[in-house]
Amino acid sequence: MINWARMPGAGTENLLKLVDDVERRVEEYRRAAEKLIQDRKELEESLAVVEALPNDLKDISEVDKEEIIANTNRLRTRMATVVCAVHTVRDPFQAEALSKTEEKIAELVAELEAETVGSPEKLRLYVNSCSKDDKEV
């Protein structure tokens, strides 16, 4: 650890610059972690596609099917050894607001899937209420 008190010019301005630099690096770190999480989802989707393909192919041997299943299982096991997460800290008010928003979205999805009358318009209202632009969707 660096002893900043003994360094020349270690005034408040330099310390604030250091804090700004650390903050920038923390945000880069979070973005990198979010990218890794997205990469993992894409890998899992790819494995699911590879696992399903042998069932659709008629000219593939049972030995090849078993090898594909064994390899995809091995890769899933390897992926399970890596855990990457980004946690967003929320105060109680923010947590409650998020929970209510997720409930409303789940209700809307259910209405859309059930083809409830007025649900497409409700969706447009939701989207438009979140839009920056004056353009309606």
pLDDT in tens, the chain (137 residues): 556 555 555 678 888 888 999 999 999 999 999 999 999 999 999 999 998 888 788 888 889 989 999 999 999 999 999 999 999 999 999 999 999 999 999 999 999 999 889 999 988 888 888 777 666 65
Q: Locate the domains of the chain by residue range.
A: 10-87, 90-137
Cα 55 to Cα 64: distance, rounded to the nearest angstrom: 11
What would the two tokens of residue 81 be? 């050894």
Q: Please choose, from the candidates 113, 132, 134, the residue with its C-alpha nearest in 3D space to the C-alpha of residue 123.
A: 113
User: Please, are residues 86 and 33 in contact by the beta-carbon 8 Å criterion?
Assistant: yes
Strand locations in 2-127, DSSP E? none
What would the two tokens of residue 10 be? 């270690």
pTM of the predicted model as reported, rounded to 2 decimal places:
0.62
